[in-house]
Amino acid sequence: MPVITSTQHKTSAPAGPASAGGYRIAAAVQAFGLVLLALPGMTGALPPWALLCGFGLSLLAGWAVFRRAANTAAIAGRDPGVTAALQQMEQLELTRYRQLVQFANDMFTWHDADGSLHYVSPNVRRLLGYDPAELLGQQMFRLIHPDDLASVHLARADLLAERNPLPITFRIVNRDGVWVWLEMFARLFDLGEGKTRIVGVSRDISLRREAEALVRESERFKALFELARDGLFLIDARGRIVEANREAARELGYHRMHLIGMPLADLLAPDAGNDCLLQWHDYFESIQNGRPEQVDAVLIAAGDQHKWVEATFSPISQEGRPMVLLAVRDVTERRQDAIQLQESLGALRVLHNRLYGIIEGSDDLIAALDNGFHIIAFNRAFKQTFEQHLRVPIELGFNLLQFLANDPEQMASAFISLQRALAGEVFTDIETIVVAEQIREYEVKYSPIRDEIGGVVGAAYVARDVTGRLHAERELKTALENLQQARHETEQANRQLTEANSELLRQANQDGMTSIANRRYFDGYLAHEWRRAVRQNEPLALIFADVDHFKKYNDHYGHQAGDDCLRQVAQAMAQQLRRPADLLARYGGEEFVVLLPGTSLSGAVFIAESMRVAVEQAGIPHAASDTTSCVTLSLGVTSIVPTEAMAEGFLIYGADQALYIAKKSGRNRVHGNPL
């Protein structure tokens, strides 16, 4: 072992009792250091710092003994016996230190600051498998794990800077290539003249690190066990629940402590397909020897509720004991959904069979084509019809356009229709197909076929034979057109008849010469207005007018001039009437009658006077008149409020009497006769 050198003191202490006391103190310190070095070998319980302290105290005690021996030798001077005794004692002490270091459980190293090894204790064989000689002069850093080099260099820098002893933990590779965890307590020694050495006391802590890792793993396992979203159980070989997490207790509605110690069989619902789990011993062995297994099970929750769970059994070891980790997830809703799905699928299969029967039994031609115009589905009617039409067998994968190549027009039409359907359009068209040498007309509906995301993947073709319907529609259209023509002709005939009837009625109710109402129309109108006046208790007035000396006018001017005269008189009289209900009529010959509904006697006299003046102002020459040189009128007026006890003749009689008086009074005048 390298010897630490130091400069000698200039003066030596005298020998004697004082020297003996110094030896006793040094011996006590040395003994304490030796005890600290020996205890780890016996108990392995002291930390590295205690070992380093023991090693340091032993070195210091040895150094003190060596210095005391040197001083004693100097004092003895020329006494060879004393010198030999001191050298023998020094050699004995050094041998003792070397044996303690060599046989200690820990590994001692002496190396430079750059890691070059100057000394390695023999215990390196037991810890790392190396021979001390093969490590001398080697860089210690090359044996350290790359991930730990940074922390080791940092600790070395702290040691060189602060010069305080410190522990360093790192991994080092042994001769077999296995990484061994070491804990080194390092201390810096100053050799003088700027030289330093590092003394390291290292102990194998691999087992402790593994224990710490197991503790950390256990803590992580506990955290994951508690925080898991699934219910977790630990089950031993006897089928008892050793541990359960909070989620498991919540899922089943039990208190957590109630579950611990409960046999798993008590949670399994009977008659629910859990027979394999009831044979727990065999099932436990199969899980331990195999992979995790997942089954569906029914567990009994609080309140005797049954819950479907997805149970996953995994082998696990806890503190060296084989166990099973059971993870359960409530799948009751999923199970119910699955049952509903199965029921829906069953109903869908029934519906599919029914639809298939309907489609297959339909007389409509039904087919589906992909984007390349290949037939991917068809029914019986489509196959039979198109085999007769194209005269080739129809099979799945059949390209419809390929067999229409002989008819370019039909091929182009089919291509355009299918392209429209593949573009997403839904439409209906009429197409002709030759079947059994007969031209049949089909109403074809094209529509797109979409996938689950809405993309068009094909086209649907549904055709119905409408030959008979279209023929009937054409016949019906022709019949309707003929009927329309007949109705038009009938309407035209009716219009002509109506016009003729209107003309007949007009001729029947109108005077042909003067174009005013005739006597027949007047009689009917008088009866109607008479009844209305009776209902409404209103007056009804009547005017009789006669052309003065009209016979002489005819004799003088002729009958043609007489007719013209009457027309002019009628026109002049009609211009004096303003109300639609007032009626002017030719009563006969040169006599005119005026019916005025709702008019009193004074109002009727006023109208009559205006007529007389209008005719006179018309200035129709009458050279044969005894009254004036022009045509004039004599008018008789009467008015009455009719009652149920009266008749129309009473009104006519009153007006006729008034006319008679007007004529007797000299003509060309109006006379009112109150009734």
Q: Which has more confidence, 504 or 479?
A: 479
> Under CATH, domain 211-330 is a member of which superfamily?
PAS domain (3.30.450.20)
Half-sphere exposure of 556 (CA within 13 A, CB side): 15
pLDDT digits (tens, 9 = 90+) for 158-174: 888 888 888 989 999 88
Which residue ranges make up each domain of the chain?
1-105, 211-330, 362-465, 512-672
Per-residue pLDDT, 27: 46
Please give the average per-residue pLDDT across 429-438, as a whole number.
82
pLDDT recorded at residue 2: 37
Which residues lie below 8 Å from residue 655, measured CB to CB, with a gap of 6+?
Answer: 542, 543, 544, 593, 636, 637, 638, 673
Report the distance separating Cα 131 and Cα 111, nearest Å: 16
* pLDDT grade for 600, boundaries at 50, 70 and 90: very high
Read off the pLDDT of each residue in 473-492 and give the average, rounded to a whole number: 91
Cross-sheet strand order for the sheet of 438-450: 375-378, 365-370, 456-465, 438-450, 427-435
Q: What is the distance between the terminal CA atoms of the chain, rounded to a whole angstrom?
A: 176
> What one-letter code names the amino acid at 174?
N
d(CA 312, CA 324): 10
Nearest CA among 65, 1, 2 for reference residue 191: 2
Question: Using CA atoms, how far apart are residues 569 and 616, in angstroms rounded to an integer?
Answer: 9
Distance in angstroms (rounded) separating the CA atoms of residues 26 and 57: 10
Asked whether the predicted pLDDT for residue 53 surpasses 60, the reply is: no
One-letter amino acid of 17: P
Distance CA 290, CA 239 (A): 18
What's the rounded mean pLDDT across residues 349-370?
84
The predicted-structure confidence for 77-93, as pLDDT tens digits, reads as follows: 556 666 777 677 767 76
Least confident of 9-23, 259-273, 543-557, 661-675: 9-23
Beta strands of 135-204 (E only): which ranges? 166-173, 179-192, 195-204
Interhelix angle for 467-509 vs 519-536, to 10°? 90
- 496 burial (CB, 10 Å; 0-12 / 13-18 / 19+) is exposed
Q: Specify whether the CB–CB gap between 636 and 661 falls below 8 A.
A: yes
Query: What's the confidence (pLDDT) of residue 189?
Result: 81
The SS3 of residue 455 is: coil
What average pLDDT does this structure show over 619-635?
Answer: 93
Enumerate residues 6+ apart whose C-beta is below 8 A from 101.
1, 37, 55, 108, 121
User: What are the structure tokens assigned to 233, written together?
Assistant: 């159980």
Dihedral through CA 282, CA 288, CA 289, CA 290, nearest 10?
100
d(C-alpha 588, C-alpha 570), whole Å: 12
Beta bridge partners of 595: 542, 583
Mean pLDDT of 182-189: 87
d(CA 117, CA 661): 175
C-alpha span between 110 and 188 (Å, rounded): 10
For domain 362-465, give the fold. Answer: Beta-Lactamase (3.30.450)
Q: What is the DSSP string of 233-266?
A: EEE-TTSBEEEE-HHHHHHHT--HHHHTT-BGGG
Q: What is the mean pLDDT of the chain?
A: 81
Cα–Cα distance, 515 to 365 (Å, whole number): 75
Query: Are the C-beta atoms of 430 and 465 separated by less than 8 Å?
Result: no
Tokens of 387: 């085999």
List of residues 6+ apart from 586 with CB closer than 8 A: 511, 513, 514, 516, 517, 518, 519, 566, 570, 592, 593
Q: For residue range 445-458, list pLDDT tens digits in order.
A: 999 999 888 899 89
Q: By mean pLDDT, which of 229-233, 300-304, 316-320, 575-579 is the weakest?
A: 316-320
> In b/e form, how buried is each residue of 334-349, taking b as 16+ CB within 10 angstroms?
ebeeeeeeeeeeeeee
Cβ proximity of 323 and 234 under 8 Å: yes
The predicted pLDDT at position 54 comes to: 54
pLDDT value of residue 73: 47
Q: Assess whether the region 362-465 and the region 512-672 belong to the same CATH fold.
A: no
- List beta partners, residue 111: 117, 198
Mean pLDDT of 258-265: 85
Q: What three-state secondary structure class fits 493?
A: helix
Q: Partners of 179 in the beta sheet? A: 173
Amino acid 567: pLDDT: 95
Highest mean pLDDT: which range of 47-61, 199-213, 280-294: 199-213
pLDDT given at position 636: 96
Classify residue 210 by burial, with Cβ atoms within 10 Å: 0-12, 13-18, 19+. Answer: exposed
If one compares 194 and 385, the residue with the highest pLDDT of the two is: 385
- Model pTM greater than 0.85? no
Contact between 538 and 544 (Cβ < 8 Å):
no
Please say whether the structural domain 512-672 has been given the CATH code 3.30.70.270: yes
The C-alpha torsion from 300 through 301 and 305 to 306, rounded to 10°, is -40
